[in-house]
């Protein structure tokens, strides 16, 4: 597959955006900031738009998904939009019976757990994600057009971050059949059925890689791979049974000239491995101070993070001091993208997020 369009030739050029520059290793005067799950339930305008229909229907409604994607950009003045979607969207496009249960997460009608069930599922051609992904591409195209307009207003280019789930995190839901605390079903399968596990995760790599490439081809300027639950793995298992599939998942987007971010929660023990697959940005959990993360992964990667979402509920002066501490710690890295160390909690006060963006933008390196 030859990518039809490289970003430099796109109408909406985001190469000089703060986010893309920081991910390339530069240090813009203002540190770029965005929030994982910035588009979503913390915003009243989101709840107003999402008052009917399922989450999956919203993801596959181009007008709705693009509008939701834009809401936090307009409100918080963050430096990037992150596409409103869900990591299980490509599995839904392939016909798997999955829903996103409100307040709970992805739930499959039946878990895919035995070797026979896995053999059945992986017969589905991952290329169908592309063929059936018009709604996704359309939503991305609409969003980039809206971002181009917003960029005019703001006087600076605003990129769209596309994203996909990493094979392990997708498998954690698929094998369990839904969310779980310890992802034991998936983690057990690694040992109980190593061949079936490899088949499943390599298939998931192709599926999610297609989903990510679809977004980038349609106009996303940055690609983030979410391995949200990778921190549940013993480091040896991560390296042996998970990392190769994540490498494969990123292959389709490597053909495009977009920076790649890799993120997971509770990943202190595998941070070096996560950086090793060749990414431009590495998301760091709030449990590892950024300067400590630099000692682990070196200075060949930009760090993203790592404000503890719990601090969104702190008094103003505590919150500002914590943001300043993180910005100072981020100076140890080659460049820094400010973010939360995890997603926005649904009960976060939007005004606090807006104020946090202002705090970050007002800060200057000493």
| Residue 198 CB, nearest approach to its own copies (Å) | 15
Catalytic residue among 173, 227, 238, 319: 173
Among 155, 315, 364, 366, binds its own copies (CB under 8 A): 315
235 is a contact residue toward its own copies (CB under 8 A): yes
CB-count exposure of residue 320 (10 Å: 0-12, 13-18, 19+): middle
Residue 28 in contact with its own copies, rule: CB under 8 A: no
- Active-site position among 79, 86, 227, 280: 86
38 is in an annotated binding site: yes
Marked catalytic residue, from 50, 113, 142, 248: 50
Q: Does 338 interact with its own copies (rule: CB under 8 A)?
A: no
List of residues 6+ apart from 116 with CB closer than 8 A: none
Answer yes or no: is 95 a known binding residue: no
154 torsion bin: left (phi>0), alpha (psi -120 to 50), beta (else) = alpha
Among 163, 211, 226, 286, interactor with its own copies by CB under 8 A: 286
Cα distances from 318 to residues 32, 284, 314, 315, in angstroms, run 21, 21, 6, 5
Continuous segment of H or E residues that includes residue 306 = strand 302-307
Instruction: Specify whether 97 is catalytic.
Output: no
| Binding-residue pattern over the window 294 to 313 for its own copies, x denoting contact by CB under 8 A | --------------xxxxxx
Got the DSSP string for 20-46? HHHHTT---SSPPB--TT-SSTT-HHH
Candidates 146, 166, 233, 357: give the one binding its own copies (CB under 8 A): 233
**What is the DSSP track for 63-90?**
HHHHHHHHHHHHHH--S-EE----TTHH
Residue 177 interacts with its own copies (CB under 8 A)?
no
Asked if 191 touches its own copies (CB under 8 A), the answer is yes
- DSSP H or E segment with residue 162: strand 160-165
Q: Is 278 annotated as a binding residue?
A: no
Binding site for its own copies (CB under 8 A): 179, 181-182, 184, 187-192, 231, 233-235, 237, 266, 268-269, 286-289, 308-315, 318-319, 341-342, 345
């Amino acid at each position: 597959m030859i990518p039809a369009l490289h970003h430099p030739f796109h109408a909406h050029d985001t190469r000089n955006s703060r986010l893309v520059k920081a991910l390339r290793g530069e240090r813009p005067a203002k540190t770029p900031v965005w929030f994982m799950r910035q588009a979503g339930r913390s915003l009243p305008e989101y709840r107003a738009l999402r008052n009917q229909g399922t989450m999956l229907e919203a993801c596959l409604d181009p007008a709705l998904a693009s509008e939701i994607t834009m809401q936090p950009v307009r409100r918080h003045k963050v430096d990037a939009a992150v596409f409103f979607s869900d990591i299980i969207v490509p599995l839904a496009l392939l016909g798997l019976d999955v829903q996103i249960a409100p307040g709970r997460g992805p739930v499959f009608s039946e878990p895919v757990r035995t070797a026979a069930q896995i053999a059945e599922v992986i017969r589905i051609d991952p290329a169908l994600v592309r063929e059936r992904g018009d709604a996704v591409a359309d939503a991305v195209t609409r969003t980039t057009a809206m971002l181009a307009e917003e960029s005019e207003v703001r006087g600076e280019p605003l990129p769209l971050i596309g994203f996909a789930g990493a094979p392990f995190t997708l498998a954690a839901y698929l094998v369990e059949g839904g969310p779980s605390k310890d992802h034991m079903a998936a983690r057990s399968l690694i040992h109980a059925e190593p061949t079936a596990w490899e088949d499943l995760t390599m298939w998931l790599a192709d599926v999610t890689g297609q989903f990510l490439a679809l977004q980038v081809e349609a106009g996303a300027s940055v690609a983030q791979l979410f391995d949200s639950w990778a921190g549940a793995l013993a480091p040896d298992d991560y390296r042996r049974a998970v990392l190769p599939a994540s490498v494969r998942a990123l292959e389709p987007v490597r053909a495009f000239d977009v920076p790649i971010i890799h993120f997971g929660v509770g990943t202190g023990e595998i941070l070096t491995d996560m950086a090793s697959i060749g990414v431009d940005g590495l998301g760091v959990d709030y449990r590892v101070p950024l300067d400590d993360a630099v000692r682990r992964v070196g200075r060949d990667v930009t760090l993203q993070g790592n404000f503890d979402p719990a601090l969104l509920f702190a008094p103003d002066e505590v919150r500002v001091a914590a943001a300043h501490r993180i910005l100072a710690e981020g100076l140890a890295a080659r460049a820094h993208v400010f973010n939360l160390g995890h997603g926005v909690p649904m009960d976060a006060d939007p005004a606090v997020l807006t104020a946090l963006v202002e705090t970050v933008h007002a800060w200057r390196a000493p």
